[in-house]
C-alpha cells in the first residue's frame, strides 16, 4: 500500500471516529485499521529517513575524500 | 513575454553596464587613427586594426597636435555610452604616438626575426595539462603577483602546490635570471606547468620579457609555459612564444586551476540542494503523518471517553430503578399472603404481614391501621 493511500484512509477514519453515532463494533474495526495504517506510514517515514542519512553519509564521505586529495 | 521598457530605461541600463565594468576603465588600446574630425575643440576619430574599428572621442584640447591619419597610437581612456545617440565611444584622455620609440623598434625587429624563425608557430605549442597539481611560478618574491597567484589558486583548490622560483623582474640582468629559471624548471620533474609572471608596467619595465634570451629559453622549455606579464593590454614577446598567454597573473591561476574545483563545488552545491530538498520532503511527510497519527489517537480516546460517559449515565439511571437500592435507603416493602400491599387500608388485621428489608424479611402481626 502506498503512503498517500494510507494517509488518505487514516484521514477518513479520523473523520468517522469524531462522529457521535458510531457503533462500537464499527469503532473497534476502525481502531484496528488505523493501527495497521499507522504502521504502514511509520515504516515509510522511517525508510525515507534512513535513505536520507545513507545518502548524506555516503556522498558526504565521497566529497570530503575528493577535497582532501 | 517580458514587459516593455522605455528607450531611456534601456539606455540607462546599457550605460550602467559600461560604468560598472571596471576592467574596461582606464585601459590602453593600440591602433591606427583614421577619420579625424574636429568640432568645437572635441576630436572625433576611429581607431582600427586589421580586423575591427572603434569610435573614439577626445576632449583634451591639444591632444591631437602631432597626430595624423594612419598614425599608430596608444590611447588611454574608458568606454562611454552616449544615451542621446545610442553610441558607444571610447573616451580618450591620453594619446601617444607609437612606432617611433627606440624600444618599440627593437621589439618589432625581434618579433619579426623570431616570427620568421618559426618560434611563434602554433604547431610547437604544448598542451596545457588538465589535472594540474603543482605550478612552478617564475616571478619576484616581493610584490603582489605571487600572492595573487597563491590566493587565486588556493581559493579554487587548496590542494594545489605553488613552487616559486624567485627572479628579478626588471632592471639589469633580469632577462638572464628569467631565462635561467625557465631552463632550471624545464628539467625539474615535480611540476606540471610553469607560469612566467609579472605585474603591469611601462614598456621599459616589461623589457626583460621582450628579450631574445627569454624568448629562446621559453621556446626550448620542455614543460608547458603560461605567460602572464603586465595587464591585459600589454603584449610582450614571451606572450607570442609561450604555450598560453594569460591576460594577468591572477588570470593565469584562474585558467590553470579552474575546472576541477568548479566541478567539485558544483557537485557539492547540487548535492547540498538535493539533500536539503530530501530533508524538506521528509519533514513534510513526517509532519503530515505525525499530525494525523496524533489526531487518530486523540479521536480514539475521545470516542472511548464518550462511550464511558454514556455508560456512566445509564448505570446511574439503572441504579435509581433498582428496588434494592430503595430498600438500602431504609424503606421496606410490605406483602400479605404473597400479595403486594401498597395501601394501609388494604391490610387485613387477621393475618400476618411480611416486611421485606434489603437484608431480610420480618413476619409481623398487624395490630391496628391508622389512616393518614
Transcribe A3-68 into DSSP letters. Answer: HHHHHHHHHHHHHHHTSTT--HHHHHHHHHHHHHHHHHHHHHHHHHHHHHHHHHHHHHHHHHHHHT
Tens-digit pLDDT profile for residues B193-218: 999 999 988 777 889 999 999 999 99
pLDDT averaged over 10-residue windows placed end to end, chain A, 69 residues = 85 82 84 88 84 77 57
d(CA B326, CA B183): 122
Cell output for B260: 576541477
Q: Please state at what angle helix A24-67 crosses helix A3-17, rounded to 10 degrees.
A: 140
B230 contacts B198 by C-beta, under 8 angstroms: yes
Residues of B in contact with A11 (CB under 8 A): 292
Task: Pick A67's closest partner by Cβ from B264, B274, B286.
Answer: B264
What integer pLDDT is reported at residue B311 of this predicted model? 79
- For B221-255, the pLDDT digits (tens) are 999 999 999 887 778 999 999 999 999 999 999 88
Residue B65 Cα distances to A11, B26, B40, B46, B58, angstroms:
90, 22, 15, 16, 12
> What region, left, alpha or beta, does residue B41 occupy, with left being phi > 0 and alpha being psi -120 to 50 degrees?
left
Q: Are strands B225-229 and B244-245 parallel, antiparallel or unpaired?
A: parallel
DSSP β-bridge partners for residue B79: B90
Shortest CA distance from B286: residue in chain A: A45
Residue B204 burial class via C-beta count within 10 angstroms: exposed 0-12, middle 13-18, buried 19 and up: exposed
pLDDT at B101: 60
Give the C-alpha separation, B162 to B170, whole Å: 22
Please compute the mean of the pLDDT values over residues B21-48 and round it to a whole number. Answer: 88
Q: Which residues contact A8 (CB under 8 A, 6 or more apart)?
A: none
CA–CA dist B50, B227 (Å, integer): 24
Alpha-carbon distances, residue B157 vs A68, B137, B152, B246, B263 (angstroms): 10, 17, 9, 19, 11
- Chain B's closest residue to A6, CA to CA, is B289
Measured between CB atoms, which of B278, B292, B307 is closest to A10? B292
Integer CA distances (angstroms), B350 to A19, B104, B212, B321, B371, in order: 64, 159, 158, 33, 17
Task: Read off the pLDDT of residues B282-327 as tens digits, 9 standing for 90 and up.
Answer: 888 888 888 888 888 888 888 888 888 887 887 777 777 777 777 8
pTM for this model (two decimals): 0.43
Tell me which chain A residues have a C-beta less than 8 angstroms from the C-beta of B299.
Answer: 14, 17-18
> Do B299 and A18 make contact, defined as CB atoms within 8 angstroms?
yes
Q: Do B281 and A48 touch (CB under 8 A)?
A: yes
Average pLDDT, chain B: 86
Q: ipTM score of the complex?
A: 0.72
Closest CB from A38, A51, A55 relative to B296: A38
Q: What is the pLDDT of residue A63?
A: 61
Q: What percent of chain B has pLDDT over 90?
A: 35
CB–CB contact A45 B282 (8 Å): yes
In this complex, do B289 and A45 lie within 8 Å of one another by their Cβ atoms? yes
Report whether pLDDT(B146) > 90. yes
What lies within 8 Å, CB to CB, of B183 at 6+ separation is B217, B220, B221
Chain B residues with CB under 8 Å of A3 CB are: 285, 289
Shortest CA distance to B26 belongs to which of B227, B233, B248? B233
Nearest to A66 among B264, B286, B299 (CB): B264
pLDDT band at B114 (very low <50, low <70, confident <90, very high): very high
CA pair distance B372, B368, nearest whole angstrom? 13
Provide the grid cell at B206.
616589461
- CB-based contact B195:B221 (threshold 8 Å): no
Tell me how close the Cα of A37 comes to any Cα of chain B, in angstroms. 9
Name the residue facing B275 among A18, A41, A56 (closest C-beta): A56
B chain contacts of residue A68, beta-carbon cutoff 8 Å: 159
Number of domains chain A contains: 1
Would you call A34 an interface residue with chain B, using a CB distance cutoff of 8 Å?
yes
Q: Residues of B numbered 267-326 whose beta carbons fall under 8 angstroms of chain A's beta carbons: which are they?
A: 267-268, 271, 274-275, 278-279, 281-282, 285-286, 288-289, 292-293, 295-296, 299-300, 302-303, 306-307
What would the mean pLDDT of B127-144 be, rounded to a whole number?
Answer: 90
State the pLDDT at residue B147.
92
| pLDDT bucket at B71, cuts 50 / 70 / 90 | confident
Dist. CA A3–CA A19, nearest whole Å: 25
List residues bridging with B48 in a β-sheet: B32, B53
- Whole-number pLDDT of residue B225: 96
Average pLDDT over residues B271-279: 77
- In chain B, whose CA is at the least distance from the CA of A31? B300
Give the best residue of B279, B288, B302, B306 to mutate against chain A (max A CB count within 10 A).
Answer: B288
Q: Which of B268, B279, B281 sits opposite A63 (nearest CB)?
A: B268
| pLDDT over 80 at B271, yes or no | no
pLDDT (0 to 100) of residue A69: 44
Structural domain of A46: 3-67
Give me A31's grid cell: 481502531
Domains and CATH numbers, chain B: 7-100 (2.40.50.140), 126-259 (3.40.50.10550), 325-364 (no CATH)
pLDDT given at position B125: 92
pLDDT tens digits along B150-178: 998 888 888 889 999 999 999 889 999 99
Amino acid at each position: 500500500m502506498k503512503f498517500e493511500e494510507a494517509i488518505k484512509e487514516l484521514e477518513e477514519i479520523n473523520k468517522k471516529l469524531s462522529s457521535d453515532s458510531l457503533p462500537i463494533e464499527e469503532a473497534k474495526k476502525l481502531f484496528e485499521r488505523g493501527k495497521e495504517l499507522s504502521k504502514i506510514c511509520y515504516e515509510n517515514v522511517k525508510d525515507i529517513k534512513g535513505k536520507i542519512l545513507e545518502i548524506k553519509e555516503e556522498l558526504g564521505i565521497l566529497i570530503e575524500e575528493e577535497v582532501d586529495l | 513575454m517580458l514587459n516593455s521598457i522605455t528607450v531611456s530605461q534601456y539606455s540607462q541600463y546599457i550605460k550602467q553596464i559600461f560604468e560598472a565594468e571596471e576592467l574596461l576603465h582606464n585601459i590602453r588600446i593600440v591602433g591606427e587613427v583614421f577619420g579625424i574630425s574636429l568640432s568645437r575643440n572635441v576630436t572625433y576619430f576611429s581607431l582600427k586594426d586589421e580586423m575591427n574599428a572603434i569610435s573614439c572621442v577626445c576632449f583634451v584640447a591639444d591632444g591631437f597636435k602631432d597626430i595624423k591619419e594612419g598614425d599608430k597610437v596608444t590611447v588611454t581612456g574608458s568606454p562611454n555610452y552616449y544615451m542621446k545617440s545610442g553610441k558607444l565611444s571610447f573616451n580618450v584622455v591620453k594619446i601617444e604616438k607609437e612606432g617611433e620609440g627606440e624600444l618599440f623598434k627593437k621589439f618589432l625587429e625581434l618579433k619579426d626575426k623570431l616570427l620568421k624563425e618559426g618560434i611563434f608557430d602554433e604547431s610547437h605549442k604544448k598542451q596545457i595539462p588538465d589535472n594540474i597539481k603543482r605550478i612552478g611560478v617564475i616571478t619576484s618574491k616581493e610584490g603582489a603577483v605571487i600572492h595573487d597567484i597563491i590566493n587565486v589558486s588556493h581559493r579554487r583548490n587548496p590542494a594545489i602546490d605553488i613552487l616559486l622560483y624567485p627572479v628579478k623582474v626588471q632592471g639589469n640582468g633580469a632577462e638572464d635570471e628569467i631565462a635561467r629559471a625557465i631552463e632550471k624548471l624545464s628539467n625539474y620533474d615535480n611540476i606540471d606547468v610553469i607560469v612566467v609572471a609579472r605585474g603591469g608596467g611601462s614598456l621599459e619595465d616589461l623589457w626583460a620579457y621582450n628579450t631574445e634570451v627569454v624568448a629562446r629559453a621559453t621556446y626550448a622549455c620542455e614543460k608547458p609555459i603560461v605567460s602572464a606579464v603586465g595587464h591585459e593590454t600589454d603584449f610582450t614577446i614571451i606572450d607570442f612564444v609561450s604555450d598560453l598567454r594569460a591576460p594577468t597573473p591572477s588570470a593565469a591561476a584562474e585558467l590553470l586551476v579552474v575546472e576541477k574545483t568548479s566541478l567539485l563545488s558544483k557537485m557539492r552545491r547540487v548535492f547540498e540542494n538535493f539533500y536539503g530538498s530530501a530533508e524538506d520532503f521528509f519533514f513534510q511527510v513526517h509532519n503530515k503523518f505525525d499530525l494525523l497519527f496524533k489526531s487518530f489517537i486523540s479521536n480514539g480516546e475521545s470516542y472511548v471517553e464518550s462511550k464511558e460517559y454514556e455508560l456512566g449515565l445509564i448505570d446511574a439511571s439503572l441504579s435509581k430503578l433498582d428496588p434494592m437500592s430503595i430498600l438500602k435507603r431504609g424503606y421496606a416493602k410490605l406483602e400479605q399472603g404473597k400479595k403486594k400491599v401498597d395501601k394501609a387500608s388494604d391490610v387485613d388485621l387477621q393475618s400476618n404481614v411480611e416486611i421485606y428489608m434489603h437484608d431480610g424479611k420480618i413476619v409481623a402481626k398487624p395490630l391496628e391501621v391508622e389512616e393518614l
